[in-house]
C-alpha cells in the first residue's frame, strides 16, 4: 500500500467510527497527518508507537539499517498535527449534546477550552521530530482522532451490551480487554479515582475522543443531564477538582492502554479493507494485538 492510501484509509475508518452523525471533512481530523515522506512511498513494514520523538526516529533508522523499515507512525500529534489539535475538539460538542447538554452551552464551553489549548500549543517547538524525520529521510505520520474514535465506538458498544450496574462492573469489563490486561501487569490498569466501586453506575459518559480534555466547567451540567460516571483515559488535577464538586464517579481506563486499543482496532480495519497484512513493530507503549 502506498503512504497516501494508508493515510486515506486511516481517515476513512476514523470517519466510520466517529460518534458524530453529520457529514465530516478532512479538517475534522487535522490532528492526523503525513508529517514527512513522499505520498507514493510503498508501505509494508511500519514502526508504530504512542509517542514518537527524535529518540524513536533514531531507533527506527537503526532498524531500517539492519532489517528494513518503510514508515514510522505515531499516535499522538507532532508538527502540523499538533497545531491542529484544538480544532478536532469540536467533536465534543456532539458528544455533550447527545447526552442532554444544551448545544449553546456546549459550544461556549468548548470555544473557551479550545482557545486555552491553542494558547498552550502555539509557543512550543512543534517540528522537532518532523525535522529529525526529514534529516533521516524517514517517512513519518500520525493517527490520533481516528484511533480515539475506535476506542469510543468499541467501549460504547461493550458497555451497552454488558450493562454495568455498579462501578466495579466497569472495572471488571475493562479487565477482560487485552490492552488493559497488559497495562495491569505494569500497575497502570483501570481504576476508580473518584466515587466508590459499590456505587451505581447510572448514565455513563465516555471521554475517549475529541482531541484532549474538554472544559473543566462542564461537569455540573453533566450531572444535571443524568450522567453519574465518567470513563476517561486520564484526568488532570484541575479537572478532578471540578468533577469532585459535581459528585461524579470517575473510572480511569488508562491513557496508553486506551490509545493502544484504538490503534489496534484501526489497524485491524485498515488491514481488512486493504486485504493486506502489515509487518508492525510496536514501540513507545504500543503492543500489536489483532482481532481480525
Predicted confidence (pLDDT) per residue in 78-97, tens digit? 999 999 999 999 899 999 99
* Residue located via cell numbers 484541575: 238
pLDDT of residue 25: 77
Q: pLDDT tens digit string along 206-242?
A: 999 988 888 888 899 999 999 999 999 999 998 899 9
Span 16-40, average pLDDT: 90
Q: Is the model's pLDDT at 44 over the cut of 90?
A: yes
Q: What is the DSSP string of the chain?
A: -BHHHHHHHHHHHHHHT-S--S---GGGGTT-EEEES-TT-B--EEEEESS--HHHHHHHHHHHHHH---EEEESS--HHHHHTTGGGGGHHHHHHHHTT--HHHHHHHHHHHHHHHHHHHTTS-TTHHHHHHHHHT--EEE--HHHHHHHHHHHHHHHHHH---BHHHHHHHHTTSHHHHHHHHTT---EEEES-TTSB--EEEEE--SSS---TT-HHHHHHTTEEEEEES---HHHHHHHHHHT-EEEE--HHHHHHHHHHHHHHHHHHHHT---EEEEETT-------
* Distance between CA atoms of residues 104 and 240, nearest Å: 24
User: Which pLDDT score is estimated for 269?
Assistant: 98
In 3D space, the residue among 257, 98, 264, 249 whose CA is nearest the CA of residue 170 turns out to be 249
What is the rounded average pLDDT of the residues 28-45? 96
Q: Where in the chain do CATH 3.40.1390 domains reside?
A: 150-254
pLDDT at residue 214, as a whole number? 87
Least confident of 82-86, 126-130, 141-145, 212-216: 212-216
Give the pLDDT confidence of 254-273 residue by residue, as tens digits: 999 999 999 999 999 999 99
> 150-254 has which fold?
3.40.1390
Which of 45-59, 86-100, 153-167 shows the lowest per-residue confidence on average (mean pLDDT)?
A: 86-100
Give me the mean pLDDT over the 25-39 stretch.
92
Confidence of residue 20 (pLDDT cuts 50, 70, 90): confident
Collect contacts of 176-185 with beta carbons under 8 A, ≥24 apart. Answer: 177/261, 178/289, 179/257, 179/258, 179/260, 179/261, 179/264, 179/287, 179/289, 180/253, 180/254, 180/257, 180/261, 182/257, 182/260, 182/287, 183/254, 183/256, 183/257
**How large a percentage of the chain has pLDDT more than 90?**
86
| pLDDT band at residue 137 under the 50/70/90 scheme | very high
Indicate the pLDDT class of residue 21, thresholds 50, 70 and 90: confident
Q: Which of 191-195, 196-200, 207-211 has the lowest mean pLDDT?
A: 207-211
The chain-wide mean pLDDT, for the chain, equals 95
Q: Is the pLDDT of residue 23 over 90?
A: no
- The CA distance from 201 to 167, in Å, is 5
Of residues 209 and 175, more confidently modeled:
175
C-alpha–C-alpha distance, residues 57 and 63, integer Å: 10
Task: Enter the C-alpha cell of residue 252.
Answer: 480511569
Question: Is 80 exceeded by the pLDDT of residue 198?
Answer: yes
137 backbone φψ class: left, alpha, beta (φ>0; ψ -120 to 50): left
Q: What pLDDT, on the 0 to 100 scale, is given for residue 213?
A: 87
Average confidence (pLDDT) over 60-72? 98
pTM across the whole model = 0.95
Amino acid at each position: 500500500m502506498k503512504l497516501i492510501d494508508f493515510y486515506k484509509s486511516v481517515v476513512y475508518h476514523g470517519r466510520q467510527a466517529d460518534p458524530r452523525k453529520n457529514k465530516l471533512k478532512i479538517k475534522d481530523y487535522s490532528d492526523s497527518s503525513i508529517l514527512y515522506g513522499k505520498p507514493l512511498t510503498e508501505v509494508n513494514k511500519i514502526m508504530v508507537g504512542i509517542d514518537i520523538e527524535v529518540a524513536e526516529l533514531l531507533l527506527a533508522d537503526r532498524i531500517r539499517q539492519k532489517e528494513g523499515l518503510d514508515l514510522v507512525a505515531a499516535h499522538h500529534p507532532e508538527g502540523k498535527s499538533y497545531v491542529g489539535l484544538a480544532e478536532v475538539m469540536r467533536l465534543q460538542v456532539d458528544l455533550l449534546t447527545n447526552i442532554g447538554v444544551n448545544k449553546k452551552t456546549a459550544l461556549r464551553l468548548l470555544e473557551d477550552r479550545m482557545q486555552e489549548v491553542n494558547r498552550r500549543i502555539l509557543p512550543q517547538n512543534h517540528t522537532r521530530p518532523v525535522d529529525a524525520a526529514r534529516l533521516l529521510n524517514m517517512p513519518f505520520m500520525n493517527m490520533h482522532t481516528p484511533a480515539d474514535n475506535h476506542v469510543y465506538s468499541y467501549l460504547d458498544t461493550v458497555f451497552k451490551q454488558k450493562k454495568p450496574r455498579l462501578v466495579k462492573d466497569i472495572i471488571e469489563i475493562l479487565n477482560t480487554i487485552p490492552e488493559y490486561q497488559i497495562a495491569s501487569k505494569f500497575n497502570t490498569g483501570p481504576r476508580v479515582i473518584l466515587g466508590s466501586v459499590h456505587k451505581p453506575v447510572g448514565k455513563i459518559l465516555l471521554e475517549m475522543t475529541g482531541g484532549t480534555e474538554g472544559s473543566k466547567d462542564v461537569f455540573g451540567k453533566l450531572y444535571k443531564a443524568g450522567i453519574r460516571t465518567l470513563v476517561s483515559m486520564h484526568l488532570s488535577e484541575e479537572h478532578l477538582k471540578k468533577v469532585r464538586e459535581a459528585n461524579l464517579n470517575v473510572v480511569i481506563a488508562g491513557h496508553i492502554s486506551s490509545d493502544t486499543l484504538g490503534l489496534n482496532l484501526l489497524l485491524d480495519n485498515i488491514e481488512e479493507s486493504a486485504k493486506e497484512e502489515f509487518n508492525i513493530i510496536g514501540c513507545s507503549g504500543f503492543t500489536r494485538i489483532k482481532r481480525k
